[in-house]
Amino acid sequence: MTIPVTIAAAAAKPLFSWPRHRASGKPAPFLPTSRAEMDRLGWDSCDVVLVTGDAYVDHPSFGMAIIGRLLEAQGFRVGIIAQPDWHSAEPFKVLGRPNVFFGVTGGNMDSMVNRYTADRRLRHDDAYTPGGEGGRRPDRCTLVYAQRCREAFKDVAVVLGGIEASLRRIAHYDYWSDKVRRSVLADAKADLLLYGNAERAVVEVAHRLAAGEAPRDLADVRGVALFRRVPEHYTELHADDLDSAEEGASRRPGDTVIRLPSFEQVEQDKDAYARASRVLHRESNPGNARPLVQRHGDRDLWLNPPPIPLTTEEMDAVYDLPYARAPHPMYGEAKIPAWDMIKFSVTIMRGCFGGCTFCSITEHEGRIIQNRSEGSILREIERIRDRTPGFTGVISDIGGPTANMYRMACKDPKIEAACRRPSCVFPDICPNLNTSHDDLIRLYRKVRETKGVKKVMVASGVRYDLAVKSPEYVEELVTHHVGGYLKIAPEHTERGPLDKMMKPGIGAYDRFKAMFEAAAKQAGKQYFLIPYFIAAHPGTTDEDMMNLALWLKKNRYRADQVQTFLPSPMATATAMYHTGVNPLRGVRHGASDKVEAIKGLRQRRLHKAFLRYHDPDNWPLLRDALKEMGRADLIGSRPDQLVPAHQPPGTGKAAGTRRPVRAGTPKTQRFTTKGVRMR
């Protein structure tokens, strides 16, 4: 039965209310990574061994540290195997046979996004590896690690988690192989998959497995995916008939499950893929979501509804766990770029109700904002001040998936529990959304008053359509929390692609820019906005990119680096890219809303070139395109024209060649623009 989120949250077993698995045991300085460390702790075995594609940094910004410390607090002995050599099973035996289960994750990023660019080129660095060295994890490392764990100890349960598993929990389009792949649970031959921020699920799974239950017995745990038969007493709602407008949205009494189009269907039929994506995203509210089932061959993949969000008290307890707040000593003096980036930053909330179709945050963390208390945040800042080497008094970021959704929520819990909107802010801000920034302003002020803190930066992306609702917040932000530049993400200027992204119109950006500049002037500061834009997003035409380039030139923006749309697993925009169908609207054979997908290499390069209209290396491509579009009038040296007719010697071929700036040329703003944010 559907349980309203307020009732469900009250009924959810509190995270720290389980009896400890082991009655005694002190927190380890670091979770052990070797037998020698286990011996020093007096352990003969680990209860849980966590395998991760990231270096082991014992800090709450790293998923395995959170899960490891949480299970340690539950009385389990937890070991970490970080970035093992995957070519054999031997490195997976280093801590011995775990008593309860192996937990496997690709790390803080999907391994394919981590290893390859949007043009499918291999990256040679990895921010989550000592020395930034690339190649320390395999492609699809969740799958590979799980198989090696199974080889190492055949009788031990294997549980998948983290963003890679979360975004590949059903049959999904894989951009790097250009095909639809099965759920990672099937290919990895694992027992369970925990999706989303899985604290509540992993605690229950650990205790029940330790008590002797089999993985197949855990089909009632929220946020869990496993293979099982549909129980006889369940009513199936069929969303797999693509000749029918029925998408399983109707409500029925009793226990119901929605049958998605099967793996075989979505592999062969793009309408079926778009339908599956639409239904999965619709059933994402913990207050009203129902189980989903998807056939894979002769087995049914069962997905339970999303986990109940953590309360503020539970969030505080998770972030107050005894993290060492440092990389494991085995790395010595080696730099871990991701650690260097976040060691002076503070996460204050989780989740995002923006629903941007190209982004994977919502699919993983959910739309309901989970907040920490002021006290917990201030305690962490004091720990940074007192325990983190190199702290100079500057908090590098205070935020989360966005900078300014802290403590925002639906005004009515009953409406929130019943809502199925994919976004609270598109096409307009929902009138039921509380957009007050008062709590965040108060938090900023208290953080600034903390002894030893000289400056607090806001580096997380500001949701500007919310910020304009609070002039006081914009003034507070600009006066105290901007260090010369502030990044925001309009992503485009044209309505066509913006609608496919579920982003507000450029008018909201213009309003925020005016408020930002007025606040900067009042504060006597010279600050700049850094706008992010995406090239080649589904639903974008060549004309859209041309108009964006003209807007950039008019506003004297020059992008040094740009981001081409990267179809990340399970994102709504990825469904658009793969299928050419818009899953934001009803999907059926012969009656689907079509979307132009930019797939050809030349067109993707052209869209990227429009964002770098000022680069002489792009001018030959842009001239040819403008002529083909009937816009040769934009070729010339006038201010209202996009590219000049002449080509400087030595340019037009070698990437990165820059044209010298002539004396007297109006100053333009350079910025870095990115489009895909995965956490």
270-282 and 572-579 helices, crossing angle to 10°: 170
Q: Does the pLDDT of residue 679 top 80, yes or no?
A: no
Distance between CA atoms of residues 378 and 354, nearest Å: 27
Q: Is 356 annotated as a binding residue?
A: yes
383 by Cβ neighbours in 10 Å (0-12 / 13-18 / 19+) ranks as middle
Amino acid at 528: F
Distance between CA atoms of residues 485 and 443, nearest Å: 22
**For residue 259, what is the enclosing H or E element?**
strand 256-259
User: Is the CB of residue 132 less than 8 Å from the CB of residue 126?
Assistant: yes
> Can you list the alpha helix ranges (DSSP code H) found in 292-418?
312-319, 337-342, 361-365, 374-387, 413-418
Q: Which two tokens stand for residue 116?
A: 């390859």
End-to-end CA distance of the chain: 32
User: Is the CB of residue 251 less than 8 Å from the CB of residue 217?
Assistant: no
> Can you list the alpha helix ranges (DSSP code H) found in 269-336?
270-282, 312-319
pTM (predicted TM-score): 0.93
Q: Does the pLDDT of residue 611 top 60, yes or no?
A: yes
Distance of CA 355 to the CA centre of its chain: 11
Q: Does the pLDDT of residue 472 top 60, yes or no?
A: yes
- DSSP string of 424-462, one letter each residue: SSSSS--TTB----HHHHHHHHHHHTSTT--EE---SPP
pLDDT at residue 662, rounded to an integer = 44
The total of other beta-carbon atoms located within 10 Å of residue 181's CB is: 19
Mean pLDDT value of segment 460-467: 95
Q: Is 46 annotated as a binding residue?
A: no
| Backbone φ and ψ of 181, nearest 5° | -110, 155
The total of other beta-carbon atoms located within 10 Å of residue 273's CB is: 25
Condensed to tens digits (0 to 9), the pLDDT of residues 180-229 reads 999 999 999 999 999 999 999 999 999 999 999 999 999 999 999 999 99
63-73 and 199-210 helices, crossing angle to 10°: 50
Condensed to tens digits (0 to 9), the pLDDT of residues 509-535 reads 999 999 999 999 999 999 999 899 999
User: Is the CB of residue 206 less than 8 Å from the CB of residue 198?
Assistant: no
Distance between CA atoms of residues 76 and 49, nearest Å: 10
Condensed to tens digits (0 to 9), the pLDDT of residues 613-668 reads 999 999 999 999 999 999 999 999 999 999 999 999 999 864 333 444 444 444 44
* Residue 162 region by backbone torsions, left for phi larger than 0, else alpha for psi between -120 and 50, else beta: left
User: How many residues are listed for the chain in this entry?
Assistant: 679
Mean per-residue pLDDT of the chain: 93
**For residue 603, what is the enclosing H or E element?**
helix 601-611
Condensed to tens digits (0 to 9), the pLDDT of residues 495-515 reads 999 999 999 999 999 999 999
Mean pLDDT value of segment 152-180: 97
Residue from 190, 163, 170 nearest 54 by CA: 163
User: Is the CB of residue 46 less than 8 Å from the CB of residue 79?
Assistant: yes
* Confidence category of residue 362, pLDDT binned at 50, 70, 90: confident
Q: Is 359 annotated as a binding residue?
A: yes
Sign of CA dihedral 607, 361, 161, 279: negative
Residue from 557, 530, 362 nearest 461 by CA: 530
User: Strand 101-105 to strand 157-160: parallel, antiparallel, or no bridges (unpaired)?
Assistant: parallel
Distance between CA atoms of residues 293 and 228, nearest Å: 9
User: Strand 292-296 to strand 299-303: parallel, antiparallel, or no bridges (unpaired)?
Assistant: antiparallel
Amino acid at 292: L
Distance between CA atoms of residues 677 and 571, nearest Å: 12
